Amino acid sequence: MDTDVAIIGAGVIGVSAAFRLQEAGLRVTLIERDGVGRGASFGNAGALAFDDIEPLASPGALRQAPRWLADPLGPLSLPPAYLPAIAPWLWRFFRAANPRTYAQGLATQAGMMRLASAESASLVEAADLAHMIRADGALDLYETRAEFEAAHPVREARRAHGIAHRILDRDAIEELQPGLAPDFAQGAFSPGWRAVSDPFDYVRALATAAMGRGAEVRKGEAAAVIPEGETVTVRLREGGTVTAGHALIAAGAWSKPLIEPLGEKAPLETERGYNTTLPPGAFDLRRHITFPTHGFVVSRLSSGIRVGGAVELAGLKRAPDFRRAETMLAKARRFLPGLETGGGTQWMGFRPSMPDSIPAIGAVAGAPRVLYAFGHGHLGLTQSSGTARLIADLALGRPPALDLAPFSLSRFA
């Protein structure tokens, strides 16, 4: 046997799991085709958004979707040619947005966020990464009273789960973040919001900490996962194999072809997201800012000011449409009049998303040595520490810290 646990995917989910498993005394091999943290972990907003407990599949999203889809460069787009391929996923998304299923999803996400918040603090301390974490809160900004009131159910859901927020008038907004356009008269502030200095740097630093404890990284692309009695073999497309006591499929948007041959149904899609990262001095940004009506955020990273967001449902093969990044940047320039928009770097990434917004975490039915952790959507960085704890529980035979039934792929059987 080559290793105790073979982890397919060295994004933030796989690397976090590797650290926890190595910490527990297991030998870990990470299998990655593109390099540590080069997927969705590279270009996200850097948020540890433990307040974001509401599933994307929600009654509110259904109300906004027609207006967003009417704008080809708006917060949500779906190329007509991709509609036949994504239709089954959309049907499940609409079903998940009904009030009863949404309430169940809300409770599931709230429990996961409590675990993730606690485990994040523990992991950051164990890996000596506290210097990479900020706790300066987040602003949600609204241009009209109607937009602000439309977000009331979200604020109430958070309040019901013990998440603090503060309602802001224009003066309070200006105090927390000077330099905004006068359009924003109302907002909400989440003081518990945390962020990493840079998501790519964070994943690489965590990988370095895991390797310092003995973890290995092997470059290669997994072609198949084959359970064989007391072991699991990962066959590589380039040739060769890795044999392990357990395998973890954590390949993000590319997880589906690895797990479905094992008999699991995985309605996994990608929400393609876009951003532009401007030089560090582009704006005096004091904290993370979200523009909910427009579907994008502006965040402060050590690598610069990142303007990003949007959801493009277009699969893994369609060429990027960077007009979407340009549209968000133009809006950011209008909302933050002092923003210097030159010298930016554009990026597009694949957020792995389940139709009910709940990640897939568990063990393959009938093959308990094959574990899976993918489909975290916009919350991979946020939920990575909680996911790592659950995977370690499974691999070590411990009772899981959360009931895994809501996360199991069997919910789609």
Q: What percent of the chain has pLDDT over 70?
A: 100
Q: Is the pLDDT of residue 66 over 80?
A: no
User: What does the pLDDT average to over 28-53?
Assistant: 95
Q: Is the pLDDT of residue 60 over 80?
A: no
174-180 LR contacts (CB < 8 Å, sep 24+) = 176/137, 176/139, 176/286, 176/287, 177/139, 177/285, 177/286, 177/287, 177/289, 178/284, 178/286, 179/283, 179/284, 179/336, 179/337, 179/338, 180/141, 180/335, 180/336
Q: Is the pLDDT of residue 31 over 90?
A: yes
The DSSP element (H or E) to which 243 belongs, if any, is strand 241-249
User: What does the pLDDT average to over 370-375?
Assistant: 98
Closest CA to 166 of 155, 154, 177: 155
Helix (H, G, I), strand (E, B) or coil at 42: coil
pTM over 0.85: yes
Helix (H, G, I), strand (E, B) or coil at 399: coil
Q: Is the pLDDT of residue 137 over 80?
A: yes
Task: Estimate the crossing angle of helix 199-212 against helix 12-23, to 10 degrees.
Answer: 30
| pLDDT tens per residue, range 292-320 | 989 999 999 999 999 999 899 999 999 99
Superfamily of domain 59-98+134-192+269-352 in CATH is D-Amino Acid Oxidase, subunit A, domain 2 (3.30.9.10)
**Residue 366 is encoded by which pair of tokens?**
């009938």
Beta strands in 25-134 (DSSP E): 28-32, 47-48, 76-77, 133-134
pLDDT grade, residue 72 (50/70/90)?
confident
Predicted local distance difference test score (pLDDT) of residue 212: 96
Map out the domains of the chain as residue ranges.
Answer: 3-42+201-267+357-412, 59-98+134-192+269-352
What are φ and ψ of residue 125, in 5° steps? -65, -45
CATH class of 3-42+201-267+357-412: alpha beta
**Can you tell me the distance from the alpha carbon of 44 to that of 380, in angstroms, rounded to the nearest whole number?**
9
**Can you tell me the distance from the alpha carbon of 376 to that of 359, in angstroms, rounded to the nearest whole number?**
5
Predicted local distance difference test score (pLDDT) of residue 135: 94
Helix (H, G, I), strand (E, B) or coil at 378: helix
Predicted local distance difference test score (pLDDT) of residue 68: 75
For the chain, the average pLDDT equals 95
Predicted local distance difference test score (pLDDT) of residue 413: 85
User: What does the pLDDT average to over 160-174?
Assistant: 93
Instruction: State the first-to-last Cα distance of the chain, in angstroms, to the nearest integer.
Output: 33
Judge contact between 358 and 407, C-beta under 8 A.
Answer: yes
pLDDT grade, residue 219 (50/70/90)?
very high
pLDDT grade, residue 59 (50/70/90)?
confident
Predicted local distance difference test score (pLDDT) of residue 57: 86
| pLDDT tens per residue, range 254-307 | 999 999 999 999 999 999 999 999 999 999 999 999 999 899 999 999 999 999
Predicted local distance difference test score (pLDDT) of residue 93: 94
Q: What percent of the chain has pLDDT over 90?
A: 90
Predicted local distance difference test score (pLDDT) of residue 44: 95
